[in-house]
Amino acid sequence: MSLSPVPSHSRTLLSEDAYHQIKEAIHNFSLIPGDRFTESQLVELLQISRTPIRQALFRLQQEGLVEVLFRNGWRVPPIDFRHFDALYDFRILIEIDAVQRLCEDRSTLCPSEKARLFDALSSIWLSPNQRFEDGPRVSQLDESFHCTIVRAAGNPAITRAHQEITEKIRVIRRLDFSRNPRVEATYNEHAKILRAILDRRSDQARMLLKAHIEASQMEVRKITLHQLESSRRDAGSLIRQDALAI
């Protein structure tokens, strides 16, 4: 587990810092799915009191990133790809519906706001000479691209549901950008999707979007499996063998 001591300041800030440190450890597989740990271990690693640690863990528990074990500490939940596949299926339905609404000009969003959103997307994804290469940055931009398309469709309830799905799959989705070919593919695929939406070619836009998400989903699964095995080898006998549920 790779964590650094948190600077000493107010309890609220300590809890916030602990939350982000633990969450990042989960995202980068320093804490591997299936890993068990105690509050005492985190207290020692972060060098802060138990209360802020517990507050951070309860917050992470609400997000589904950790789970409490009765009288036996905490655990990073094993990865269940069936669960993630179901979330991806729901995500595809939402985004395809959003694309169709946009192509058919059925968005309820204010036209000026919708234009502003697509101008922002175009400045990122239709500017071949202004591409970022680092995975974490492109991961953030990718997430914003898909969320903006749904938001532009103009249904706040659907936008919130999509955001919840985005939060839940972020832990593995960000791995899609750990390899340069996927970064380049994302730029190319987003550009094609965006042009199809702007030209109101609904069938093509929906087909491109579905293929794009499914390709990312498959790549994420492969990278996740590889990352888990690499992390297990590095951690040796400290890693439980039931860390993956497929």
- 129 and 35 share a domain? no
Q: Is the dihedral of CA 138, 188, 190, 127 positive or negative?
A: positive
Are 29 and 119 part of one and the same domain? no
The residue range of the domain holding 98 is 80-227
- CATH number for 38: 1.10.10.10
pTM of the full structure? 0.74
- Tens-digit pLDDT string for the chain (246 aa): 556 555 555 667 899 999 999 988 887 778 888 888 999 999 998 888 899 999 999 999 998 889 999 878 999 988 888 988 999 999 999 999 999 999 999 999 999 999 999 999 999 999 988 898 888 889 899 999 999 999 999 999 999 999 999 988 887 777 677 667 888 999 999 999 999 999 999 999 999 999 999 998 888 888 777 666 665 665 543 333 333 332
Report d(CA 203, CA 208) in Å as an integer.
9
Q: Are residues 90 and 147 in the same domain?
A: yes
Is the same domain home to 102 and 164?
yes
Token pair 């802060």 is found at: 48
| Strands of the chain, DSSP E | 36-37, 67-68, 74-75, 79-80, 244-245
Within a domain: 246 = no
Domain count of the fold of the chain:
2
